[in-house]
Amino acid sequence: MVRTQIYLTEQEQSALRVLAGTTGRSQSELIRAAIDRLIEQTLAKDRGQVFAAAAGLWAEGDERVDFLAVRREADRIEPR
């Protein structure tokens, strides 16, 4: 782990201290859990936006992708 310093308002510090006391977890654990949750939610949102943008990408046009051929080609590639 990497040590990081953050600044909290007095209200945030007080609420965090109470939450730590009632849950039996350290303030650091609670902060890390909140950061992990924020990262997970942000990445999930980004993935959703990418999927939404890609929806129907090949719906128009005559040049259809042969996904089975693409998959067979990908299966030939040896992992490093």
How do the pLDDT tens digits run along the chain, 80 residues long?
Answer: 899 999 999 999 999 999 999 999 999 999 999 999 998 888 777 777 777 767 666 666 556 667 777 777 777 766 66
Rounded Cα distance between 13 and 10, Å, is: 5
pLDDT of residue 16: 97
The answer to whether 17 touches 27, Cβ cutoff 8 Å, is yes
Rounded Cα distance between 50 and 8, Å, is: 34
Cβ neighbours of residue 2 closer than 8 Å, sequence gap 6 or more: none
The answer to whether 41 touches 30, Cβ cutoff 8 Å, is no
Tell if the pTM clears 0.85, that is, is over it. no
